[in-house]
Amino acid sequence: MHSGRWYVSGLDHRRGQARTFRVDRVVSARPLPQTYEVPGDFDAVAHLTRSLAAVPYAHEVEVVETSLEEARRRIPATVATLSGTDGAVTVRLRAERLEGVARMLAGLGVPFVIRGPEEPRAVVRRLGRDLLRSAEAGQGA
Protein backbone atom coordinates (compact mmCIF):
# COMPACT_ATOMS: atom_id res chain seq x y z
CA MET A 1 0.00 0.00 0.00
CA HIS A 2 1.27 3.47 -0.89
CA SER A 3 -0.53 6.81 -0.50
CA GLY A 4 -3.80 5.05 0.25
CA ARG A 5 -3.65 2.82 -2.82
CA TRP A 6 -3.09 -0.92 -2.98
CA TYR A 7 -0.52 -2.34 -5.40
CA VAL A 8 0.42 -5.86 -6.37
CA SER A 9 3.62 -6.99 -8.07
CA GLY A 10 3.75 -10.02 -10.28
CA LEU A 11 5.19 -11.52 -13.42
CA ASP A 12 3.77 -10.15 -16.63
CA HIS A 13 3.94 -13.26 -18.81
CA ARG A 14 3.55 -11.16 -21.98
CA ARG A 15 6.52 -8.96 -21.17
CA GLY A 16 8.50 -11.57 -19.26
CA GLN A 17 9.28 -9.21 -16.40
CA ALA A 18 8.02 -8.25 -12.96
CA ARG A 19 5.49 -5.42 -13.00
CA THR A 20 3.49 -3.48 -10.47
CA PHE A 21 -0.26 -3.06 -10.86
CA ARG A 22 -2.58 -0.71 -9.00
CA VAL A 23 -5.30 -2.97 -7.65
CA ASP A 24 -8.19 -0.54 -8.28
CA ARG A 25 -7.24 -0.46 -11.98
CA VAL A 26 -7.32 -4.22 -12.49
CA VAL A 27 -10.44 -4.94 -14.51
CA SER A 28 -10.18 -8.72 -14.46
CA ALA A 29 -7.78 -11.48 -13.55
CA ARG A 30 -7.78 -15.17 -14.29
CA PRO A 31 -5.40 -17.95 -13.34
CA LEU A 32 -3.10 -19.26 -16.06
CA PRO A 33 -1.44 -22.66 -16.28
CA GLN A 34 2.05 -21.09 -16.13
CA THR A 35 3.78 -20.90 -12.79
CA TYR A 36 6.26 -18.41 -11.52
CA GLU A 37 8.75 -18.72 -8.71
CA VAL A 38 9.48 -15.46 -6.93
CA PRO A 39 13.25 -14.87 -6.96
CA GLY A 40 14.75 -15.13 -3.47
CA ASP A 41 16.24 -11.62 -3.69
CA PHE A 42 13.00 -9.96 -4.89
CA ASP A 43 12.16 -6.94 -2.73
CA ALA A 44 8.51 -5.97 -3.31
CA VAL A 45 8.83 -2.58 -1.58
CA ALA A 46 11.93 -1.63 -3.59
CA HIS A 47 10.23 -2.80 -6.79
CA LEU A 48 7.13 -0.69 -6.03
CA THR A 49 9.29 2.34 -5.21
CA ARG A 50 11.23 2.02 -8.49
CA SER A 51 7.99 1.47 -10.41
CA LEU A 52 6.35 4.58 -8.98
CA ALA A 53 9.43 6.70 -9.68
CA ALA A 54 9.29 5.60 -13.33
CA VAL A 55 5.60 6.41 -13.93
CA PRO A 56 5.28 8.80 -16.87
CA TYR A 57 4.11 12.25 -15.82
CA ALA A 58 3.57 15.46 -17.75
CA HIS A 59 7.08 16.74 -16.95
CA GLU A 60 10.48 15.11 -16.63
CA VAL A 61 13.22 17.14 -14.96
CA GLU A 62 16.89 16.33 -14.50
CA VAL A 63 18.76 18.14 -11.76
CA VAL A 64 22.33 17.94 -10.51
CA GLU A 65 22.95 18.80 -6.90
CA THR A 66 25.71 18.31 -4.40
CA SER A 67 24.55 16.17 -1.49
CA LEU A 68 23.43 12.57 -2.00
CA GLU A 69 22.51 12.25 1.68
CA GLU A 70 20.37 15.40 1.59
CA ALA A 71 18.70 14.35 -1.65
CA ARG A 72 17.82 10.92 -0.19
CA ARG A 73 16.45 12.55 2.94
CA ARG A 74 14.31 15.17 1.22
CA ILE A 75 13.23 13.66 -2.11
CA PRO A 76 10.74 10.78 -1.91
CA ALA A 77 12.07 7.69 -3.68
CA THR A 78 8.69 7.30 -5.35
CA VAL A 79 9.07 10.54 -7.33
CA ALA A 80 12.73 10.49 -8.33
CA THR A 81 15.70 8.32 -9.04
CA LEU A 82 19.06 9.36 -7.64
CA SER A 83 22.46 8.40 -8.94
CA GLY A 84 26.02 9.49 -8.37
CA THR A 85 27.95 10.45 -5.27
CA ASP A 86 28.31 13.55 -3.12
CA GLY A 87 29.33 16.45 -5.31
CA ALA A 88 27.62 15.11 -8.43
CA VAL A 89 24.16 13.72 -7.68
CA THR A 90 21.82 13.35 -10.65
CA VAL A 91 18.14 13.56 -9.72
CA ARG A 92 15.66 12.45 -12.38
CA LEU A 93 12.12 13.26 -11.40
CA ARG A 94 8.70 13.36 -12.93
CA ALA A 95 5.79 15.54 -11.94
CA GLU A 96 2.38 16.68 -13.09
CA ARG A 97 2.97 20.24 -11.85
CA LEU A 98 6.29 22.05 -12.06
CA GLU A 99 5.38 24.41 -9.21
CA GLY A 100 5.73 21.48 -6.81
CA VAL A 101 9.12 20.60 -8.31
CA ALA A 102 10.31 24.19 -7.83
CA ARG A 103 9.21 24.24 -4.18
CA MET A 104 10.84 20.86 -3.51
CA LEU A 105 14.13 21.97 -5.09
CA ALA A 106 14.10 25.25 -3.17
CA GLY A 107 13.51 23.31 0.04
CA LEU A 108 16.58 21.13 -0.45
CA GLY A 109 18.77 23.84 1.01
CA VAL A 110 21.69 22.98 -1.28
CA PRO A 111 22.79 24.41 -4.63
CA PHE A 112 21.40 22.66 -7.70
CA VAL A 113 21.52 22.98 -11.47
CA ILE A 114 18.56 22.11 -13.70
CA ARG A 115 19.94 20.27 -16.72
CA GLY A 116 16.69 20.33 -18.55
CA PRO A 117 14.28 21.10 -19.90
CA GLU A 118 13.92 24.90 -19.90
CA GLU A 119 10.38 25.10 -18.51
CA PRO A 120 11.32 24.11 -14.93
CA ARG A 121 13.98 26.85 -14.91
CA ALA A 122 11.30 29.44 -15.65
CA VAL A 123 9.11 28.09 -12.83
CA VAL A 124 12.05 28.18 -10.37
CA ARG A 125 12.83 31.77 -11.42
CA ARG A 126 9.17 32.75 -10.87
CA LEU A 127 9.20 31.12 -7.41
CA GLY A 128 12.43 32.98 -6.59
CA ARG A 129 10.86 36.31 -7.58
CA ASP A 130 7.74 35.52 -5.53
CA LEU A 131 9.83 34.61 -2.48
CA LEU A 132 11.91 37.76 -2.82
CA ARG A 133 8.79 39.90 -3.11
CA SER A 134 7.35 38.26 0.00
CA ALA A 135 10.58 38.76 1.93
CA GLU A 136 10.71 42.44 0.99
CA ALA A 137 7.03 43.13 1.66
CA GLY A 138 6.53 45.33 4.67
CA GLN A 139 10.20 46.27 5.06
CA GLY A 140 10.53 49.43 7.09
CA ALA A 141 6.97 49.15 8.35
What's the pLDDT tens digit per position in 17-40?
A: 888 888 998 898 888 888 878 888
Alpha-carbon Rg for the chain in angstroms = 20
Positions in the chain whose pLDDT score sits under 70: 1-2, 140-141
Element (H, E) at 112: strand 112-116
Report the mean per-residue pLDDT for the chain.
Answer: 84
State the alpha helices, DSSP H only, in 75-117: 98-107
Cite the residue boundaries of each domain of the chain with CATH code 3.30.70.
56-136
Intra-chain end-to-end CA distance of the chain, in Å: 50
How many angstroms separate the most distant Cα atoms in the chain? 77
Q: What is the CATH number of domain 56-136?
A: 3.30.70
